[in-house]
Amino acid sequence: MASQPAHPSAQRAAERGTRVEQLRLVLKTVPPTVRLLWSAAPMALLAVVGVTLGQALVPAAIAWVAKLIVDGVVLAQAGDVAARDRVVSAVMLELGMVVLQTMLGRGQGLLKETIATRLKRSLSVRVLDKALNLELRHFEDSALYDKMQNARREADRRPLNLTMQGLGIEQNVVTLSTYAVLIVTIAPWALPILFVATLPSFLSELRFAGESFRVLTWRAPEGRRLNYLEWILTRDSSVKEVKLFGLGPMVLGRFTELFDTIVAQDLRLARRRAVWGVLLGLVAVAAFYACYAMVAERAALGTITLGDMTFALVAFRQGQASFQAILGAMGGIVEDALFMSNLFVFLSVEAPGERPRGGIATSLPAGPQPITLDHVRFAYPGREDRVVIDDISLVIQPGEKIALVGENGAGKSTLVKLLLRLYEPTDGAISYGGVDLRDLDPKALRRRFSAVFQDYVRYQFTITENVGVGDVDRLDDVAAVDRAIAMAGAEGVVDVAGGKDQMLGGWFEKGTELSGGQWQKLALARAFMRDDANVLILDEPTAAVDAAAEAELFEKMRDLAKDKTAILISHRFSTVRMADRILVLDGGRIVEQGSHDELVALGGRYARLFELQAKGYR
C-alpha cells in the first residue's frame, strides 16, 4: 500500500523544526570556529575586522558626496559661481574615497589570503594530530572514516568562509544603517519594502543550503569509493594486475558511472536552486523599481532635488544589495556551520584506548615481565556476534619464544593487536608484569615491544629512514642503523639500492624500487632498531624470503633475541619448530600447545598440518 503524503501542517512543522535545529547548530558552531581562526592568525583577524568596518562606511559616504556633486552642478548651471568650486572639491573628495575603497578591498584580499594560509596549516595539523591519537578501531570504522574525510575536505575553507560571512553581515548592516540615516528624510518607507521583498529569496537559499549539506554528507561513502577506484588505476601497487587482467575498462566504467550519478545529483540541485533564485529574485527587482518610480515621480514634481533622487536610487540599489548580502550570508553561515559540524564531530571523538584507564597511569614494571591473558574474549566493534578470540588464558614468561599457528582467521593477528593494546578485550584481561594493560600508558607499553607486521609499511623514505623509524629517537644514530641492518641480514639490500641514503619506492623522483623480500628485510631491520624492547613480535616476517634465507635469519634471531620474549606467527613449520612453545589456534581458541616434538607426537591438528606441509618438500 502506497504511503500517504504528510499533512501540510505536519510538513510545515517539520520544516520549522529543521530551521530551529539549524539555528541551534549555527549558535553552537560559530564560537569554536572563530576560536580556530583566532588561534591561527589573531592579528590578521583583527585587521580584517577593522578593514571590513572601513569598507562598510565608505559606500554611503561616496553616494552622499555624489548627491552633493549633482546638486552643485544644478546650482552652478543656475549661475551660482561658488557652487562650481564646491563641485570640484566634492569630486576630489569622492576620488579620495574611491582610492581608499580600492585599498581597503585589496587589503582585505591580502588579509584573507594570510588567514587562509595559516588556517590551512593549523587545521591540517589539528586533524592529523587527532588522527594520530585515534585508536585502530576508528580507522576500521567506515562511518568515522567518512567523518574524517569530510573534515579534511572542508576544514581548510569552511572556517574562513563562515567568519567572512559573519564579517560580511557586519559590513552590510553598517552600510545599511548609514544609508538609512541619510535617506530617512527622502524616502523612509523604501527600506522596509526592499527588506520584505528580499525575504523569500533568503528562505529559499536557506532551504537549499541544508539540502546541499545533506546530499554531500550522505554520499561520503560514494566519494570514498571514487577515491578507491581512482587509486586502483593510478598506483604502482595495482597496475600489474590492472594490465594483466584487463581491469582498466571495468574500473574506469564504474568510476564514470558513479561520477555521473554524483554529477546528476549536483545538477538537479543546481537547477532547482537557479530556478527558484530567478523567480524570487524578480520579486526583489519589482520592489526596487516600484521604489524607483515613486522617487522619480517626486523629483519630477520638484518635491526633492535631482541630487536627492540620485542618492535615493543608489541607496535603494545598495540597500537592497545589502539586504540580499545579509540574508545570503546568513544562509551561507548555516551551510558553513553544517559542514563545520563534521570537523567538530571528528575532533570530539573519544579515544579512551589511547589513555590509561581512569586517566592516571600505573607505573610500568622495570625489565622483562610475564604477559598474562586471563579468560580473554574479543569481538570487533559492530560485529559482536562473531567472536574472534574466545576465552584464552595464557602466561608468556620473560624470554620465552612462542609461536602461533593456525589457519587464516584463527585469531593470531588479532591476539597481537590485543597485546599491543590496539584493541581492548571484550571480556577478561591482559596484564604485563601483573598490571592490567588498560592501566598502563599505551605509549610507554608499546616502547617495550618491537614488531614486524604482515602488512608492514614500505616507506617512501631513504634506507636509513626506513630502518631508523623503528626508533625515531635514534633516527640519526648511524651506528644503531648499521647494527639493525646487519642483524636483519640486509647489507645486500643496501648494496643493491646504492647506499643507505638512496630514496626508496616509486612515488618520488630518483626513487629505487625493491623486491618484496628486500623490503621485508628492511622491515626486520626496523624492528631490530628498538634494541631496548623486551618483546619482539614477528607476524609472517619471512613470507617474502626464500627458505635458506629464512633459516639463516631465524638462527640469527634466536641468538640476537635470546634475552627477549619473542612471539612468532608463521605458516612455515620449519620456522615455528624453533619456538619453545607452539600454540595452535582454531576459531579463536587455543586447541593445542607444546613443543614441536610434543605436538607431532600428539598426532592432533598441528601434526596433520605439519605433515601436509612436509609432503610439499618431498
Q: Give percent above pLDDT 90 in the chain.
A: 15
CB 51 within 8 A of CB 103: no
- Between 175 and 47, the more confident residue is 47
* CA separation for the pair 299, 500 (Å, rounded): 86
pLDDT per residue over 319-332, tens digit each? 667 766 776 677 67
Report how far residue 414's alpha carbon sits from residue 165's, in angstroms, rounded to the nearest whole number: 49
Contacts by residues 151-155 (CB-CB < 8 Å, ≥ 24 positions apart): 151/127, 151/342, 151/343, 151/345, 151/346, 151/347, 152/127, 154/339, 154/340, 154/342, 154/343, 155/123, 155/124, 155/127, 155/343
**d(C-alpha 221, C-alpha 261), whole Å:** 13
| CB proximity list for 413: less than 8 A, separation 6 or greater | 454, 539, 569
Strands annotated E in 386-470: 389-396, 401-405, 427-432, 435-436, 449-452
**How long a stretch of residues is the chain?**
618
Taking the C-alpha atoms of residue 464 and residue 320, their distance in angstroms, rounded to an integer, is 65
What is the DSSP code string of 253-273? HHHHHHHHHHHHHHHHHHHHH
Of 332, 398, 435, the residue nearest 535 (C-alpha): 398
Is the pLDDT at 189 greater than 50, yes or no?
yes
The share of the chain scoring above pLDDT 70, in percent, equals 84
Q: Which residues of 121-134 are buried (b: 16+ CB within 10 A; e: fewer)?
A: ebbeebbeebeeeb
Query: Residue 544 has which C-alpha cell?
Result: 617474502
Q: Does 375 score more than 90 pLDDT? A: yes
HSE-up of residue 454 (Cα within 13 Å, Cβ side): 12
Q: At what angle do helices 42-77 and 158-183 cross, to 10 degrees?
A: 30
Largest CA distance in the chain: 125
Q: How far apart are alpha carbons 33 and 163 in whole angstroms? A: 8
Residue 402 or 193, more confident: 402
Strand residues in 111-269 grouped as ranges (E): none
Average pLDDT over residues 379-403: 90
Q: Are 596 and 574 in contact (CB under 8 A)?
A: no
H/E stretch holding 482: helix 478-487
| Integer Cα distance of 563 and 8 in angstroms | 77
**What is the mean predicted confidence (pLDDT) over 450-471?**
87
Nearest to 574 by CA among 553, 604, 603, 602: 553
Q: How far apart are CA 211 and CA 271, in angstroms?
A: 13
Instruction: Indicate if the alpha-carbon torsion angle 129, 134, 139, 141 is positive or negative.
Output: negative
Say if CB 552 and CB 564 are below 8 A apart.
Answer: no
pLDDT value at residue 481 = 92
DSSP 395: E
Q: Is the pLDDT of residue 593 over 90?
A: yes
pLDDT at position 109 over 60:
yes
pLDDT tens column, 232-287: 777 666 665 676 667 778 888 888 888 888 888 888 887 887 787 777 777 777 77
3-state secondary structure 41-104: CHHHHHHHHHHHHHHHHHHHHHHHHHHHHHHHHHHHHCCCHHHHHHHHHHHHHHHHHHHHHHHH
> Average pLDDT for residues 182-196, to the nearest whole number?
70
Cβ-based neighbour number of residue 215 at 10 Å: 14
How far is residue 34's CA from residue 340's CA, in Å, rounded to a whole number? 11
The residue that leads in pLDDT, 547 or 441, is 441
**What are the residues whose beta carbons fall under 8 Å from the beta carbon of 148, sequence distance 6 or more?**
127, 131, 346
What integer best gives the mean pLDDT of the chain? 80
What span, in angstroms and rounded, lies between the C-alpha atoms of 59 and 61?
Answer: 5
CB 395 within 8 A of CB 372: yes
Task: Judge if pTM exceeds 0.75.
Answer: no
Residue partners of 216: CB distance under 8 A and separation at least 6: 150, 339
Q: pLDDT, tens digit, for every residue of 342-356?
A: 788 888 888 887 888
Residue 491: partners with Cβ closer than 8 Å, 6 or more residues away: 485
Per-residue pLDDT tens digits for 124-154: 888 888 888 888 888 777 777 777 776 766 6
Query: Taking 50 as the threshold, does the pLDDT of residue 73 lie above it?
Result: yes
Confidence of residue 8 (pLDDT cuts 50, 70, 90): very low
Q: Does position 466 have pLDDT exceeding 80, yes or no?
A: yes
389 pLDDT above the threshold of 70:
yes
- Specify the pLDDT at position 231: 73
Contacts of 367 (CB under 8 A, 6+ apart): 398, 534
User: Mean of the pLDDT values across residues 92-102?
Assistant: 89
Give yes or no for residue 589 having a pLDDT over 90. yes
Cα–Cα–Cα angle for 113, 327, 272, nearest 5°? 95
Domains of the chain: 8-350 (1.20.1560.10), 371-615 (3.40.50.300)
State how far the Cα of 511 lies from the Cα of 231, in Å rounded to an integer: 20
Q: What pLDDT is stored for residue 431 in this prediction?
A: 95
* Mean pLDDT value across residues 90-97: 88
